[in-house]
Amino acid sequence: MKLKILPTHLRDKKRYLAFQAISEIPLQREDVISLIMESSGNLYGACGTSQLGLWVVKVWDYTTPGANTVKGIIRCKREEVDKARAVIPTITKYKGKRVVFQTLGISGTIKAATTNFIKLKAADE
C-alpha cells in the first residue's frame, strides 16, 4: 500500500527567521546548528525543542579581517515563531569565546527572507 502525501491545507505552516551572528572566531554551518539546538534544548528541553520544528536552511559567511559575521535562515512552525525567536538571543558563548546572535526579521518564504533581510550580492549566491 502506497502512502499518500499529506494535503497542503493539513501541513504545518512555516516561517523563516533571518539571523546574524557576530563572533570572535569563525563559525561554520555545523557550529551554528549545534549552537541553536543546544540553546533551544537548554531553554525548552527536548520535547519543547521538537515542537518548534527548527531547521537551519542556509548559512552565509561574511568573514572579513576585522569581523567574523555569519547570516542565515532558520525554519520553524508558524505557531512557534515567538518561542523560536526567543532561542536566538540566549546564545552567548562558543568554545569559550563571545558570540552575539541577532534576529534580522521573520518572513513567510525563503526568497523574501533572503532579499529583505540577508540582502545578498549577486556573487554571494
Residuewise pLDDT in 10s, the chain (125 residues): 788 999 999 989 999 999 999 999 999 999 999 999 999 999 999 999 999 999 999 999 987 787 899 999 999 999 999 999 999 999 999 999 999 999 999 999 999 999 999 986 544 55
30 in a structural domain: yes
Q: How far is CA 1 from CA 4, 5, 7, 11, 50, in A?
A: 9, 13, 18, 22, 29
124 in a structural domain: no
3-state secondary structure of 120: coil
125 in a structural domain: no
Q: What is the structure's pLDDT at 124? A: 53
Residues sharing a CB contact under 8 Å with residue 57, sequence separation 6 or more, in sequence order: 16, 72, 73, 74, 75, 110
106 in a structural domain: yes
Q: Into how many domains does the chain fold?
A: 1
7 in a structural domain: no
4 in a structural domain: no
Q: What is the structure's pLDDT at 63? A: 77
52 in a structural domain: yes
123 in a structural domain: no
Q: What is the pTM of this model?
A: 0.87
Q: Give the CATH number for residue 36.
A: 3.30.70.3250
Domain extent at residue 105: 12-118
16: cell is 523563516
